Amino acid sequence: MTTPPGSTGPNGNADRPWLRTDLPVEEHVEALLAEMTLAEKVGQTHQSANIDPIADAELIRGGGIGSSLLASGATAGNERDAGIRVSTIDAVQRIAVEDSRLGIPLLFARDVIHGHRTVFPIPLGLAAAWDEDLVLRTARLAAAEASLDGIAWTFAPMLDISEEPRWGRVAESLGEAPVLAGRLGAAMVRGFQGDDLGEGDSRGAGSISACAKHFVGYGLVAGGRDYETVQVGENTLRNLHLRPFRTAVEAGCATVMAAFTDVDGVPMHAHRRMLREVLKGEWGFDGVVVADWDGIGQLVNQGVASDLRDAAAQAIAAGVDIDMISGAYAAHLAELVESGRVPLDLVDDAARRIIRLKIRQGLFERPYMGATTSEPVLGPEARALAREAAAASFVLLTNNGTLPLSPNLGRVLLTGPFVEEGEALFGTWTLDGRGEDVASPAAAIRERLQDNAIVDDGRFSDRTLHLVRQADVTVALVGEHPSRSGEANSVTDIGLPAGQLEVLRAIAAIGKPLVVVVFTGRPLDLGEVLDLADSVLIAWHPGVEAGPALVETLFGDRAPGGRLPMTFPRSVGHLPTSTHAHPTGRPIAADADGVTGRYLDALVVPRFPFGWGLTYTTFNYGPIRLSSNEMPLNGGSVEVTVDVTNSGTHAGREVVQLYLRDLVADVTRPLLELADWVSLELDPGSTGTATFHVTPAQLSYYDRTMTLRIDPGEAVVTVGPDASSGTSARITVTQ
């Protein structure tokens, strides 16, 4: 632990009482605020990118900046940068702490999205594991590694309800269901922040502040085109999109980021109703709202602000506390207060929140978070966790018995564009992973099979067919390069990238067993691939232990346990498609041929429903049992149990899912909504019981007047392996 000389600690601050770290948090905040000039308060609201100890020395000394983001540019998730220099961070911090009038430390932020040096699966892959504890552990390790690098704040979890696979940013999300995204997001917050944000061990490895983003509705960008407008009403926001954010805020998430988009005409960076009234008022959020990159400046592009000054006035009124990058606050906020357009209270509110965050973060005690150790990162424990997470994220879509591969199989060909890849297996937003750290699929299969491994060169060309003929089974690693997903990477075609299907067709025509592994940042329309392949495994972008996790899964050392966190549609023409469908005046019905209609030319049901995933065994579900058919509205609960039997020959994990439907409500309610899930690890022949407690709160919703309510009446409870099947019963909510 490094203590800046003479500036902190109960006895070392006689000349600067506002730095007394023994004060209770709120007293400390007020003591500091009382000392600050308007310019210093505004300084706290200003965030720049990649602050420099030489170029920015005057700004820092003058208290003109409160935080810095370490990022390469506006779409940093798509680029590699030079990495972090702890020495630079510490040099900057030293100026702030020792040479500025008040000695307020700076916050250093970076997008630590799915791991830091140890890269875990993309968030959508992590979500597929449906495992809060796993998500927590990955975030904990990422926080430890990032804080050793001097980072105090990350911009994760991303909690945008994501049901639009054309939108590249679904890769960063935790899927389409508010309960899944909310619970996993809260786990990520707890992992990043620990029990106490200010904690840190003797090496400086500790907790970092989390940021729930992007508040709110970003997942609804029109046509899946990034940054597009969003049209959604407040009722849908409350009943769907706001929910994971609320869960994260209740878990103590320190910060929230505003979304780039407008919602029904009002850009989120100027959305007073959502930010100041709902988030800060109704929910009592006392943390920091940060703008997205130039989000305040973009109010001008969005045509609601005449210039940067106007944008600053609107954003501070709406409740945006930190201006990321635009410079609008630094340039105009003080004058806006002096001219009377912006009340001082608003700037005080922002400064108070930022100071509170810095105190909670322990920055006054420990401003220098950088490494003081030579202990290796990415050691065996980190790799083991990365491997566990990668394997847990895999979702087996189809399997005719080819998987797991038998150890006596003979020769296995590994082919496809990802065979020898490193960085391409990381996925979007991997700022600090290193390609050379990746355990590749080629290395892993060679290690396992020695001479029985045939490894193609990654070109996936006509030469591949010669190799297919020499092998007993082909494993084709296909799918999207990460540069096709993530920010600003939307597509209109969600099939495999150009050329891959043709090679798969040619391989399949040879008639030998074919396993297709798909790396992807989004749900894909796999269409014909599902017919060509004997088995299809979705591997997302799995991270640094991709190769061993994959090979262990293919050979059955590990059984795939993942379940889809997003619906896989039949085609782009079916979008949007998700579990959020509401009943209509004319329900969809099967026609005389049993075909479910709404489209003339295609089935309306998804290709793979939300929650789908096979494993190497099968499960039988017993009947649903209720502790009572009635649930008192005030305080009751109904225990719902279902016995699940492993009816196959391998041990396996079943994710038993609980869905609810409110039959009559004040507004239309989803036909099916995930309410809870339970994981059962079952040996062959054994039976486990999934137990759920259905509560009135799970049936609560916002009505036409935006009031939270629970109605007496009937509800349907369904327990099953995914959103398209299960066993149901009715309960009555009584007064």
722 belongs to the binding site for ligand BGC (CB under 6 A): no
C-alpha distance from residue 200 to each of 147, 156, 195, 371, 442 (Å): 9, 20, 11, 11, 39
Nearer to ligand BGC, 218 or 621 (CB): 218
Instruction: Give the residue, chosen from 120, 155, 167, 245, that forms a contact with ligand BGC under the rule CB under 6 A.
Output: 155
C-alpha distance from residue 715 to each of 455, 539, 571, 700 (Å): 54, 36, 32, 11
456 belongs to the binding site for ligand BGC (CB under 6 A): no
C-alpha distance from residue 519 to each of 447, 522, 539 (Å): 22, 9, 5
CB of 572 to ligand BGC, least distance (A): 24
Residue 394 CA, distance from chain mean position: 16
Q: Among the candidate windows 70-78, 514-522, 585-593, 615-623, which touches ligand BGC by CB under 6 A?
A: 70-78
- Strand 323-324 relative to strand 46-49, pairing: parallel
CB of 437 to ligand BGC, least distance (A): 22
Which strand (E) or helix (H) includes residue 35? helix 25-35
Annotate each residue in 561-600 with x if it binds ligand BGC (CB under 6 A) or - if it does not, as one string.
----------------------------------------
Nearer to ligand BGC, 253 or 477 (CB): 253
CB of 41 to ligand BGC, least distance (A): 24
Helix axes 308-318, 328-338, angle to 10 degrees: 80
Burial track 621-643 (b if 16+ CB lie within 10 A, e otherwise): beebebeeeebeeeeebbebebe
CB of 125 to ligand BGC, least distance (A): 18
Backbone angles phi, psi at 178, to 5 degrees: -60, -35
Nearer to ligand BGC, 309 or 484 (CB): 484
Residues 488-517 that bind ligand BGC (CB under 6 A): none
Q: Among the candidate windows 33-41, 69-77, 373-381, 557-565, which touches ligand BGC by CB under 6 A?
A: 69-77
Nearer to ligand BGC, 71 or 318 (CB): 71
Nearer to ligand BGC, 50 or 571 (CB): 50
293 belongs to the binding site for ligand BGC (CB under 6 A): yes
Total binding residues for ligand BGC by CB under 6 A? 11
215 belongs to the binding site for ligand BGC (CB under 6 A): no
487 belongs to the binding site for ligand BGC (CB under 6 A): yes
Q: How far apart are the first and last CA of the chain?
A: 57
Cβ(124)–Cβ(154) below 8 Å: no
Count Cα neighbours of 221 within 13 Å in the Cβ-side half-sphere: 25
Q: Among the candidate windows 40-48, 68-76, 142-150, 638-646, which touches ligand BGC by CB under 6 A?
A: 68-76
Instruction: Give the residue, chosen from 70, 71, 122, 181, that forms a contact with ligand BGC under the rule CB under 6 A.
Output: 71
Instruction: Give the residue, chosen from 42, 70, 76, 312, that forms a contact with ligand BGC under the rule CB under 6 A.
Output: 76
Burial track 127-158 (b if 16+ CB lie within 10 A, e otherwise): bbbbbbebbbbbbbbbbbbbbbbbbbbbbbbb
Instruction: Give the residue, chosen from 116, 117, 166, 213, that forms a contact with ligand BGC under the rule CB under 6 A.
Output: 213
- Tell me, yes or no, if 292 is annotated catalytic: yes
CB of 314 to ligand BGC, least distance (A): 20
Residues 371-400 that bind ligand BGC (CB under 6 A): none
365 belongs to the binding site for ligand BGC (CB under 6 A): no
Nearer to ligand BGC, 213 or 366 (CB): 213
SS3 at position 58:
helix
Cβ(496)–Cβ(437) below 8 Å: no
432 belongs to the binding site for ligand BGC (CB under 6 A): no
Instruction: Give the residue, chosen from 33, 57, 74, 304, that forms a contact with ligand BGC under the rule CB under 6 A.
Output: 74
Instruction: Give the residue, chosen from 40, 90, 111, 552, that forms a contact with ligand BGC under the rule CB under 6 A.
Output: 111
C-alpha distance from residue 604 to each of 573, 575, 577, 600, 672 (Å): 10, 10, 9, 9, 16
CB of 110 to ligand BGC, least distance (A): 8
Six-digit token string for 565: 């966190």
292 belongs to the binding site for ligand BGC (CB under 6 A): yes
Nearer to ligand BGC, 69 or 216 (CB): 69
Nearer to ligand BGC, 69 or 537 (CB): 69
Q: What is the DSSP track for 403-455?
A: PSPPTT---EEEESTTTT-SGGGT-SS-SS--GGG---HHHHHHHHHGGGEEE
CB of 187 to ligand BGC, least distance (A): 19
Nearer to ligand BGC, 90 or 111 (CB): 111
d(CA 576, CA 570): 11
Nearer to ligand BGC, 68 or 567 (CB): 68
Helix axes 25-35, 344-360, angle to 10 degrees: 130
Q: Among the candidate windows 67-75, 134-142, 242-250, 445-453, which touches ligand BGC by CB under 6 A?
A: 67-75
Nearest to 267 by CA among 315, 225, 219, 222: 315
Residue tagged active-site, from 149, 226, 292, 676 = 292
d(CA 128, CA 32): 45
Q: Which residues contact 404 (CB under 8 A, 6 or more apart)?
A: 553, 554, 555, 556, 559, 616, 650
CB of 75 to ligand BGC, least distance (A): 6
d(CA 239, CA 412): 49
Q: Which residue matches tokens 């390609």?
A: 435
320 belongs to the binding site for ligand BGC (CB under 6 A): no
CB of 172 to ligand BGC, least distance (A): 7
731 belongs to the binding site for ligand BGC (CB under 6 A): no
Nearer to ligand BGC, 254 or 655 (CB): 254
Nearest to 664 by CA among 725, 712, 731: 712
Q: Among the candidate windows 74-82, 160-168, 301-309, 646-654, which touches ligand BGC by CB under 6 A?
A: 74-82
Residues known to be catalytic: 292
List residues near ligand BGC by CB under 6 A: 69, 71, 74-76, 111, 155, 213, 292-293, 487
